[in-house]
Structure 1
Amino acid sequence: MSQVTMILHIQEQILKLVDEESEDFIYDIDKMDATDFFTAYIKAGNVIFNQLTSVKKNNLEFTHLANQLIVQDLLKDKG
């Protein structure tokens, strides 16, 4: 499965949380604090990473790893 496909699937699931028409609706985007939401989003990524791997990282370590993966991906695309 391509990264684009995975991105679209993940995006679709997350956007359901703020879609008033979705049965998964939880958050009113007009009333939520964007900083809190995106901080929670990043922390959730770390929780998922820790659950799916045998590697346990704190939030700062996870964001460092995420940045390394993005740079690696950008360099691959330029190669």
Structure 2
Amino acid sequence: MSSSIPIDDTGRFVLATPPKTGIYTVTLTPPEPKQLPPGSPSQKPDEFPVPRKYQDLSMSNLTKEITTGKNNLEVVIPE
């Protein structure tokens, strides 16, 4: 099972539906480019500062455990 949760400008996210308890692999993907009005010049997407490894479910070794009750998760990208 997979899910996609947008991250706000402060780096926070909220799950609409609580997931089952367990250990989950975490990936981080760049935001979708903003839609420009028709006829606007194309813009280069902003650089996404997360290594490709953590953008791919088959390569990411980031995991988080979900327990019963409230969970405050912090995802730290190793240097």
Q: Same fold (TM over 0.5)?
A: no
Looking at secondary structure, tell me which structure has more helix per residue. 1
Looking at secondary structure, tell me which structure has more strand per residue. 2
Bigger relative contact order, structure 1 or 2, given CA contacts below 8 A and separation 6+?
Answer: 2
TM bracket (short chain): under 0.3
TM-score for the superposition, normalised by structure 1? 0.27
